[in-house]
Structure 1
Amino acid sequence: MSDRIRHLTLSHVVLPLDNPVSDAKVLTGRQKPLTETVLLFVEVLTEQGLTGMGFSYSKRAGGKAQYAHLAEIAEVAIGQDPSDIDRIYQSLLWAGASVGRSGVASQAIAALDVALWDLKARRADLPLAKLIGAQRDSCRVYNTSGGFLQASVEEMKEKASASLDSGIGGIKIKVGQPDWKKDLERVTAMREHLGETPLMVDANQQWDRARARRMCRELEKFDLIWIEEPLDAWDAVGHADLSHVFDTPIATGEMLTSVPEHMALIDAGYRGIVQPDAPRIGGITPFLRFATLAAHAGLALAPHYAMEIHLHLAATYPTEPWVEHFEWLNPLFNERIDIHDGRMWLAERPGLGFTLSDQMRARTVETASFGKP
């Protein structure tokens, strides 16, 4: 029997970090240190009393814009069948098409799209990965939050050891500093500290093509799992060229905000690792669309951030992926993900498997409601 979306609640949430962090974009003067994550939560209620929860996020800027955009178009979803997720997605996309179909527009819609997938899986009483069709019950997991550039080498080592002791299987650290020799010193220190533990590096788009080639050549000897965002995120051709030249895999994609932007990598002949981010690409619906194309192209997958969503999506990918661990969003949820033996494990809870905490409510600075409660 068909159902209808009866009510939507949007919540604008600001979550401060315990300590500011800096990547290469800060050291090159392009951004300020990151001090908070701003999130857009959507809660869905249907005529039959079913519920779903989803979120998107922004860092440094854009959170208010995401909230404002969805608040302007959310009414379009009221009365629609929540099972028709792609139909709802397209109606929202076209409702705000005058500002584009990527960027803030798609990121705003993502929160509702995720909530509808959560609802659909809850209705089936299945974890989201099982609803879609899981290939595995756990995924390899690596931690990034301890590897930012404001941390000293000793601090970085301590955090890496703590992550490994907690059951995490790999460590990623930031590079891309103006003085490239400092990058090599930090990578050398971490490789010596970690031994054969999987290690990744992330330049956060701060090299030009010439510097990227030189750095990728220098980094080959460290047996890295990947070198992430060596170039500007939109330089599909440059990333594709690097992926053909070096043995160390190249990874990119986290900053792209639509399926066409990601497809530019495949069209350019990219052979590296793709890192789509469901809240950024526009939600689970476009994420799955691109994942199908990426799998067809034989690309490896390592989704960016938002492990609460990406564990489920990574578990459905045909080849073994990596999932990124960030503990930053933990205060917003009552549940925790099980991590041990270097892997992140799916829970048996239906949907995404999370309920919103009192801290999430306390951090909410603005709400909007649509339809009948």
Structure 2
Amino acid sequence: MTTGGTLMSTAPGTLDRIREIRLRSVRLPLPTPISDAKVLTGRQRPMTEVAMLFAEVSTTDGLTGLGFGYAKRAGGPAQFAHAHEVAPVLIGQDPNDIARLWTAMVWAGASVGRSGAATQAIAAIDNALWDLKARRAGLSLAKLLGAHRDTVRCYNTSGGFLHTPVEGLLDNADESLQRGLGGLKLKVGHPEPGVDLARVAAVRGHVGPDVPLMVDANQQWDRATALRMGRALEQFDLVWIEEPLDAYDAAGHARLADALDTPIASGEMLTSVREHVELIRAGAVDTIQPDAPRIGGITQFTTLMVLADQAGLALAPHYAMELHVHLAAAYPGEPWVEHFDWLEPLFVERIEIAGGRMVVPDRPGVGLTLSDRVPGWTVADATVGANG
């Protein structure tokens, strides 16, 4: 019906409201200490665990959505504490109004800013709200957002770290390709450039010219080194060179992108949409690599996808394949998703891989259930609610 030219809905408004939010800080141990270029340059210690923040949003209708964020090496307790502080503003609110709720959480913690640990804490709750909304609709997250595809290209990273000897790289490459993964990424940025070149040459020679191959310097080169290494790496026909420079050096990345034929990729270390916009405006990247848990959740990620698409960029979300497979499926251009099996012990479900691609799960929501191992790794647990 219409009144005065305005379309009026006769459908009843939702009566569902957020009843409580359960937060869990979990420390997931890694089977092997992980080292990349930041370790070899003395800037970080080997990584032995991942700090996870889980949020479960429950409503008065009896529905629950599950979301997560994470931190590596430091930040887990900060994320948990901030989420615990801002979560009360959502109690009693309509869980469908996700953008409004994201803004409410930001303002609840405005004094600590809109990036970093603050938005990463919000991300876990935001992701849970999207999971809840998709579950309510009986759709996967990809279908709720509007999927462009049912499978996405995928590549393996966990087999290419700098602590792995060359023989191990070749074995890992064979295993990854046999599992159905489509591409391989190698860590570079070794203090001795010749070591990097020898490792890349060995893998390229082993897998042949047709396997997609990427490298990741983890921000460890200066501008001159990045240009020299970029030129030396051109011979290997790489899909991209990732994080050749400091993540915030948009001008340096832009100069490198202009100078090299190999595409430049970056973005994973940025913690807001605004920081990614600087890369886009500068023409700094050919492939943008946002991380939904780092930039504030799915709400912010979908905003960034529009900007990236308008700029004609390729998309390759960082880490957290369990979530990013859905988001990548909703991107207009053909994306890549990074395969890490590190988080698999946390969940009951597994992602199917075949023919170089990940199959987008068709279960409602993100399609994840916490495994029975999670309680044993939980270091803090709190519930925020009307009576909490």
Q: Same fold per TM (> 0.5)? A: yes
In the aligned structure 1, how far is the partner of 2:325 from the partner of 2:229?
Answer: 31
SS of residue in 1 equivalent to 2:373 = helix
Map of 1:155 onto structure 2:
168
**Structure 1: any 5+ residue segments left out of the alignment?**
none
Shift of residue 365, structure 1, vs aligned partner: 1.2
Distance, in Å, in 1 between the alignment partners of 2:74 and 2:136 is 35
**Which residue in the other structure is 1:15 paired with?**
28
TM superposition shift of 1:271? 4.4
Match of 1:125 among 114, 138, 148: 138
Greater C-alpha radius of gyration: 2
Report the equivalent of 1:243: 257
Q: Deviations over 1:84-140 (max 9, x none)?
A: 001000010111110111000000000000000000000000000000000000000
Instruction: Say whether residues 1:284 and 2:286 are aligned partners.
Output: no
Say whether the 8 Å CA contact 1:103–1:257 is kept in structure 2.
Answer: yes
> What residue is the counterpart of 1:77 in the other structure?
90
Partner of 2:281: 267
Normalising by structure 2, report the TM-score.
0.95
CA distance in 1, matches of 2:376, 2:141: 27
Corresponding residue for 1:48? 61
Query: How many percent of aligned residue pairs carry the same amino acid?
Result: 64
TM (norm. structure 1) is 0.99
Partner of 2:129: 116
Deviations 1:153-211 (A, max 9, x none): 00111111111111101000100011111000100001001112111000000000110
In structure 2, distance between residues paired with 1:271 and 1:333: 33
Per-residue deviation, residues 223-242 of structure 1 (Å, max 9, x unmatched): 00100000000011111221
1:286-334 residue CA offsets vs partner (Å, 9 max, x unmatched)? 0110110010000000000000110000000011000000000000000
The answer to whether the Cα contact below 8 Å between 1:147 and 1:172 also exists between their aligned partners in 2 is: yes
Q: CA deviation at 1:372?
A: 4.6
Rounded to whole Å, the distance in 1 between the matches of 2:104 and 2:257 is: 37
Question: How is 1:96-107 mapped onto 2 (pairs within 5 angstroms)?
Answer: 96-107=109-120
The CA distance in 1 between the partners of 2:345 and 2:220, in whole Å, is 31
Aligned to 1:81, what secondary structure does the other structure show? coil
Following superposition, the deviation at residue 270 of structure 1 comes to 2.7
User: Which of 332, 340, 348 is equivalent to 2:346?
Assistant: 332
Residues 13 and 40, structure 1, Cα contact 8 Å, conserved in 2: yes
Q: 2:189 aligns with which of 167, 172, 176?
A: 176
Deviation of 1:247 after TM superposition, in Å, equals 1.1
| 2:280 equivalent to 1:228 | no
Contact 2:288 2:313 (8 Å CA) reproduced: yes
- Is the contact made by 2:156 and 2:176 (CA closer than 8 Å) also made in structure 1? yes
SS at match of 2:261: coil
**1:58 counterpart = 2:45:** no
Query: How far off is 1:245 after superposition?
Result: 1.8
Cα offset for 1:269? Answer: 2.1
Q: Deviations over 1:49-74 (max 9, x none)?
A: 11100000000000111001111111
What do residues 315-354 of structure 1 show as CA deviations (whole Å, max 9, x unaligned)? Answer: 0001100000000000000000010100000122010011
CA distance in 1, matches of 2:386, 2:285: 49
**2: distance between equivalents of 1:78 and 1:241?**
48
Which amino acid counterpart does residue 191 of structure 1 have in structure 2? R
Q: Distance in 2 between matches of 1:222 and 1:261?
A: 31
Rounded to whole Å, the distance in 2 between the matches of 1:269 and 1:146 is: 31
Paired with 1:78 and 1:144, the residues of 2 have a C-alpha distance of 40
Match 2:373 to one of 359, 367, 370: 359
1:183-198 alignment runs, 5 A limit: 183-195=196-208, 196-198=210-212
Cα distance in 2, alignment partners of residues 242 and 277 from structure 1: 23
Tell me which of 40, 55, 61 is aligned to 1:27.
40
2:337 is paired with a residue of what secondary structure? strand
Aligned residues: 373
Contact (CA 8 Å) 2:127, 2:298: kept in 1 or not? yes
Q: Could you say what secondary structure the match of 1:324 adopts?
A: strand
Please tell me whether the aligned partners of residues 91 and 386 of structure 2 are also in contact (alpha carbons under 8 angstroms): no
Question: How far, CA to CA, are the matches of 1:236 and 1:287 in structure 2?
Answer: 20
- Mapped contact 2:265–2:285 kept (Cα < 8 A): no
Query: Residues 266 and 285 of structure 2 are in contact (CA less than 8 Å); yes or no, is this contact kept in structure 1?
Result: no
Q: Which is further off, 19-28 or 264-273?
A: 264-273
In the alignment, structure 2 segments of 5+ residues that lack a partner are 1-12
Question: Are the counterparts in 2 of residues 244 and 271 from structure 1 also a CA contact under 8 Å?
Answer: no
Structure 1 residue ranges (4+ consecutive) displaced by more than 4 angstroms after TM superposition: none
Q: Which amino acid aligns with 2:141?
A: L
- Structure 1 pair 223/59, CA: closer, same or farther in 2 (3 Å)? same
Is 1:313 the counterpart of 2:308? The answer is no
Q: Does the CA-based 8 Å contact 2:264-2:284 persist in structure 1?
A: no
CA distance in 2, matches of 1:336, 1:230: 32
Structure 1 residue identity aligned to 2:273: V
Q: Does 1:164 align with 2:170?
A: no
